[in-house]
């Protein structure tokens, strides 16, 4: 008995209108399933539609044709339990340190009681992603991979 795929991409097609009025089809009838605990890589040359496909899967972009199922349910809009890391890691506030960048969403959403709690949770998340020792660094002082790891966490959810 096969389990239901966690992600099922069915016949996804997507075109973009170009400046000259013509359509550029970047995705044509793309279909695949991803099973629980399966790791999938989407590879291809620059401009072939990888990011567009991922944006459709995450619900950030609409397909012209086809659909995406997540755990068997049709998916059409962003979900709180999904995360997409973009190629450009300049999502961090350049005038804030790593610690303050990580603490910012906690205080802005009032997820924590006060700034002290925000910094305590932020320090744990920084340690979780292997950036201890860089708490007082600014984004321009980090490598691309370090910036990516800094964005790869759930403020208070999955990590406790």
pLDDT of residue 154: 41
114 and 58, same structural domain?
no
- Which pLDDT does position 17 carry in this prediction? 85
Do 113 and 69 fall into the same domain?
A: no
Whether residue 87 is contained in a domain is answered as no
Does residue 38 lie in a domain region? yes
Res. 159 pLDDT band, cuts 50 70 90: very low
The last residue of a domain, from among 74, 107, 129: 74
Domain interval for residue 35: 7-74
88 found inside a domain? no
- Residue 156 in tokens: 């208070």
Contact 38, 3 (CB under 8 A): no
Q: Which two tokens stand for residue 76?
A: 């059409």
Residue 46 lies in a domain: yes
To the question of pTM greater than 0.85 for the whole model, the response is no
CB 15 within 8 A of CB 62: no
Q: How far apart are CA 150 and CA 112, in angstroms?
A: 19
First-to-last CA distance in the chain? 34
Residue 12 has pLDDT above 50, yes or no: yes
120 and 67 in one domain?
no
Is 70 a domain residue?
A: yes
CATH number for position 39: 3.40.50.300
19-33, 96-110, 129-143 — most confident range = 19-33
Q: Smallest Cα–Cα separation from 87: which of 52, 37, 127, 124?
A: 52
Residue 69 lies in a domain: yes
Alpha helices, H only, 11-143: 50-58, 98-108, 115-128
Domain end marker among 27, 42, 74 = 74
What pLDDT, on the 0 to 100 scale, is given for residue 134? 87
> Are residues 103 and 146 located together in one domain of the fold?
yes
The answer to whether residue 127 is domain-embedded is yes
Last residue of a domain, one of 27, 59, 74: 74
Distance CA 62, CA 77 (A): 9
- Whole-number pLDDT of residue 158: 35
Residue 20 resides in a domain = yes
Report the chain's mean pLDDT, rounded to a whole number: 84
Q: Say how many domains are in the chain.
A: 2
3-state SS, residue 151: helix
DSSP for residue 18: -
Q: Are residues 62 and 107 part of one domain?
A: no
What local confidence, expressed as pLDDT, does residue 1 receive? 52
Q: Are 16 and 67 part of one and the same domain?
A: yes
């Amino acid at each position: 008995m096969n389990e239901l795929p966690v992600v099922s991409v069915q016949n996804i097609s997507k075109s973009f209108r170009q400046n000259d009025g013509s359509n550029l089809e970047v995705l044509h009838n793309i279909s695949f399933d991803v099973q629980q605990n399966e790791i999938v890589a989407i590879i291809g040359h620059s401009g072939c539609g990888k990011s567009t496909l991922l944006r459709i899967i995450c619900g950030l972009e609409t397909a012209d044709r086809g659909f995406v199922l997540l755990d068997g349910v049709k998916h059409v809009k962003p979900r709180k339990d999904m995360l997409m890391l973009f190629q450009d890691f300049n999502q961090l506030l350049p005038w804030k340190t790593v610690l303050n960048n990580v603490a910012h969403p906690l205080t802005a959403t009032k997820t924590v009681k006060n700034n002290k709690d925000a910094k305590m949770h932020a320090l744990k998340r920084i340690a979780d992603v292997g950036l201890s020792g860089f708490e007082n660094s600014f984004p321009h002082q980090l490598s691309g991979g370090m910036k990516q790891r800094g964005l790869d966490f759930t403020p208070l959810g999955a990590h406790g």
